[in-house]
Amino acid sequence: MDIVMSETASGGLRRVLNRIRQVMAKPATAQVRLNELVKVIAAEMVAEVCSVYVVRAGETLELFATQGLNPSAVHQTRLRVGEGLVGTVAATVAPLNLHDAQAHPKFVYRPETGEEIFHSFVGVPIIRGGRVRGVLVAQHRTHRHYDEEEVEALEMIATVLAELIAGGDLVDPGEQTPAQGNAILPVRLTGIKVNGGLATGEAVLHQPRITIRRLLAEDPEAEHRRLAEAVSEMHQQLDRIFAREEVAVGGDHRDVLDAYRMYAEDQGWLRRIGEAIDSGMTAEAAVQKEEDDMRARLGAVHDPYLRERLHDFEDLASRLLRHLAGEAFTAARADLPQDVILLAHMLGPAELLDYDPRRLRALVLEEGSPNAHVAIVARALNIPVVGQVEDLLARIDPRDPIVVDGDNAIVYVRAGEDIQQMAAETIAMRLQRRAHYAAMKDLPPVTRDGVRVSLKINAGLMMDLAALREYGADGVGLYRTEIPFMVRSEFPNVEVQTASYRNVIEAADGKPVRFRTLDVGGDKELPYFRNTGDANPALGWRAIRLSLDRPALLRRQVRALVRASRGGDLELMFPLVAETAEFNAARALVDLEVAREAKRGEAPVTVRVGVMMEVPGLAFQLRSLLPLVSFISIGSNDLFQFMYAADRANPRTAERYDTLSPGFLTFLKSLVEDCGRANVPLAVCGEMAGRPLEAMALIGLGLRELSMPPPSIGPVKTMVRSLAVDELAPYLAGLLDSPDHSLRETLKNYARDHAVTIEEP
C-alpha cells in the first residue's frame, strides 16, 4: 500500500479527499457511494484491498463494501466486536497495523472473502460521537508494515466515512443506539451520589448532536478564517458567562472556571484543528475529527485529571461547532420547562452555567464523579447530581417526568403517582423543616439538663460557609483544603493558597476554622502527582505520609495558612497520623514556618495544632501524644473502616458493620476518657456526627464537639435540645458490654421513649 505522497503528505491526502468529495456530491444511495468510495480509496492509496465494515445491532460488524475481496461476501461476512482483527480494532478503538496478519492470535479466517492470499493488514476505527461506527481496512499480499503517515491518512478518511454511516441510510438509525424497550414503562436508574438532595421536574436532553453537512472544503484559507472568527466568538461568550453574578465571586469553583478558560486557549488543540483544515476538511469536520481523536486517545484513561481534560475539551468542541454551524447552542437556548432535570453524557463547567439557575432542579450524568469539575460548580449552585447512570440518554425521552434522589443516587423515570406524590411531599417537608431550622439558628444547642454541645460544619467550598449564618453553627470543625489542589493542573503556589485561605477566614466572620492539611492520595489523586498504583489505596501513600515525603509541599501549605491567619488564630490538624513520631515530624515543619513568618511580623496570635484520629493504632500512643497536641478530632469514616477492616467503598462490606456497634462505641468511650484526663478537647468530624441518632450516642459517651455537613446542623440541634444527658449517659454505659451486632434499634427505642427528636437530614 504505497500511498502516493510525491507533493507532500498533506497534498497527497488532500487529493484523496477531493476525490472522495466528488463521490459524495453525486446523486446516489449511500450504498452506491460506499461501493464507489472503497474503489477510490484503493486506487488512490494503491491498496490491493479496501473494505468497510459497519457496526449493526447486537455488536456485530458486517462487511458493507469491498474492493479486492470476493464481492459475494458483502453483507454476508459478519464478526462480533472483539472477534478477529476487524473486531479487535472496534473493541480497542485503536488502529491495528500488521505485516503478517495471519500470524496474529486474533486472526479469524472467513473462506467466503478470499482473503487468505493477503498478508499485511491495517485497520482503523470509524468513530463518530465517541462511538465506533465501523472499521476501515486495507490489505496487501506482501509482508509489509504501514508507516505512520499511511495510518493517519486512513484515520482522516475514516472521519468522512463516519458521517456517511451515521446518516442513517446504510443502517437504520434504531440500530445505532441501544434498545430503549417500552418507552411508556416506569424506569428506576441507579448511579453514584455526586451531590445530595431531592428534586422533581421534566427531562431536558442537554445537547442534540450537530449534523455536519459539508465535510470537505475547496478553500482552506476561507475555512481558517471561519475558524478564527468562531474561536473569537466563543472566547467572548465565555467571558460573559464567567462574569455572571452567581459565579463571579471567588471560591473553589473559580479555579475550575479559570482552568477551563486556559483549555479554551490551548494552542495545541487549535493547531491540530488547523492541520485537519490544511488536509482539505471544513472547519466543522476538523473540529469534529479532533474531538473524536481526543475521545479515542483518552476515553479509556482512568486518570481523573485526564478524564476531566477530556470532558472540558468535549465541551469546548461542542461550543465551537455551534458557533461554526450557527445553530442553537444547547437546550439552554430552547424553551425550557419551569422545572428542569438536565440529562447529559457529561458536561463542562461552563455548559452548566448556560442554564437558568431559577429553573435548574437537578443534573443526571452518564459519567461524572464527586470530584468532577462540573460537580464542584453544581455544589456552588446547590443542585442534586447523580453520576455514572448507565445508558441514561438511551432510556429517557425529552419531557419525561423525573424524580432525582441525589442522597441515594436513584433516578425515577416516568414514575408512578405514588412516587411522584411522595417526592413532592418530601420536598415540601424539607422546605418546611429548612425554614424551621433557619428560625432556630440563634437558639443555643443546649440539652434539657443544661449541657452545651458545640455544633460546627465540615466545609470544602466557599459556598458551604454560608451555613454558618443560615444555621447558626459555631464554626468550621473541618475545612478540607484539597479541593483547590485537585482542580488545578499544577501545584498552587503560596500566594494563591494564601488568598484562598484568607477568603475562608473572612467568610467565617470571626468564627473558628479548623484547617486539615492536604489529604490526598488513595482515591483522591492530584493531576500533577504520579499515580502510585497502590493495591490498597486507603492504606497506601496518602495524607500525612505523602506530605512528610514531600516536605516542601507541606511547608508551602503551612506557610500560606500562617500568612492567611496573620494577627488572628490558626487551627490546623494532620490527617491519618499513625504514630506520635509522624505528628512530631509534621509539627516541626509548622514550627519552622511560624518562626519564619514571625520574623516578618506576619504570624498568627495563637497556633493550635492537632491530629485526626483515624488510625486505631494511634490510640495506643495517646500517653506520648496527648501532651503534644492542642486537640484531637475523630475522623469516624476512616477510623470505622480500619477498626473493622471493612472497605467503606465496597458495597459488600460498607453496610456489614454498624457505627453503633458496642465495640466501636466502647473504643470511642476510651478516647473520651483518655482525652478528658489529659484535658485535651476531643471532637468528631466524620459522617457519624451529622446523623442525629449517632450524634445522640456520641453525646452520651461524653463528646461535646461535633462537626458535620451543613444540612445536618438543624436536625442535630433539634435532637440536642430535646435530650437529657444525665439520663442517657448511664443507660448507654450499661449497653457497651453487650454482645449484640448493633445498638441501633435499642437507641431508637430509647429516643422514642424519652421524647428525643430524631429527624434525618
Cα–Cα distance measured from residue 452 to residue 447, given in angstroms and rounded to the nearest whole number? 7
Active-site pick, 253, 311, 323, 685: 685
Reference 660, options 578, 755, 749; nearest CA is 749
Buried b (16+ CB within 10 A) or exposed e, 443-465: eebebbeebebbbbbbbbbbbbb
Distance CA 339, CA 594 (A): 52
**What is the four-CA torsion angle of 593, 598, 604, 609, rounded to 10 degrees?**
40
* Cα 545 to Cα 331: distance, rounded to the nearest angstrom: 46
Q: What is the 3-state secondary structure (H, E, C) of 579-630?
A: CHHHHHHHHHHHHHHHHHHHHCCCCCCEEEEEEEECCHHHHHHHHHHHHHCC
Assess contact for 681 and 626: CB atoms under 8 A: no
State the Cα–Cα distance between residues 476 and 454, nearest whole angstrom.
11
Q: Would you say the C-alpha torsion 298, 299, 305, 311 has a positive or negative sign?
A: positive
Distances (CA, A) of 401 to 22, 231, 280, 416, 418: 47, 37, 45, 10, 13
Among candidate residues 69, 215, 79, 72, the one with its CA nearest the CA of residue 134: 79
Q: Bridge-partner residues for 205, per DSSP?
A: 343
Residue 337: burial class (beta carbons within 10 Å; 0-12, 13-18, 19+): middle
Instruction: Read off the C-alpha cell for 338.
Output: 419551569
List the one residue out of 467, 454, 461, 505 whose CA is nearest residue 483. Answer: 461
Q: Does the annotation mark 685 as catalytic? A: yes
Residues β-bridged to residue 187: 413
Q: What is the dihedral of CA 147, 153, 156, 157, to 10 degrees?
A: -120
Q: CA 249, CA 238: separation in Å to the nearest integer?
A: 16
Pick the catalytic residue from 253, 323, 373, 675: 373
**What H or E segment, with its residue span, contains residue 363?**
strand 360-365
Rounded to whole angstroms, the maximal C-alpha distance in the chain is: 93
Q: Give whole-number Cα distances, 233 to 237, 287, 327, in Å.
A: 6, 15, 14
- Amino acid identity for residue 157 in this structure: I
Give how far Cα 555 sits from Cα of 233, 391, 543, 586, Å.
43, 46, 14, 9
Residue 545, phi then psi, degrees to nearest 5: -65, -45
Place of cell 476515553: 299
- On whether the CB atoms of residues 558 and 548 are closer than 8 A, the answer is no
Name the strand (E) or helix (H) holding 187: strand 187-190
CA 179 to chain CA mean position, Å? 27
Closest CA to 55 of 129, 146, 151: 129
Question: Looking at the DSSP assignment, which residues form a beta bridge with residue 609?
Answer: 572
Q: How many CB atoms lie within 10 A of CB 288?
A: 29
Q: Which three cell numbers stand for residue 593?
A: 514556618
Q: What angle do CA 69, 75, 79 make, to 5 degrees?
A: 85
Print the SS3 string covering 500-530.
HHHHHHHHHCCCCEEEECCCCECCECCCCCC
- Residues annotated as catalytic are 373, 685
